[in-house]
Amino acid sequence: MFRLHVMELASGAVNAVSDTSADESPSFAPNSRLIVYATQQQGREVLMTTTLDGKIKARLSGQSGNIREPDWGPFQKQ
């Protein structure tokens, strides 16, 4: 099982940003302010977002069924 952490490269400080143990497939938002990741809640697979400090988390709503493999795209390169 996995738990997400973010490391500040300049200082080497590591901060846990998730509080569950089934977290996977993290992806940084294009603006680098959020992370979206797949996890499990109440036996269902869901997508969550969190701020880089882990203080604000939100479950992304979806229709019934499991939701996996987060992706921020499509984005056009300029």
DSSP for residue 53: T
Residue with tokens 């940084």: 28
Inter-residue contact 42 to 59 (CB < 8 Å): no
Residue with tokens 């499991």: 66
Which is more confident, 68 or 28? 28
pLDDT tens digit string along 8-60? 999 999 999 998 888 988 988 888 899 999 888 888 888 899 999 999 999 88
- The answer to pTM > 0.85 is no
For residue 20, what pLDDT is reported? 83
3-state secondary structure of 67: coil
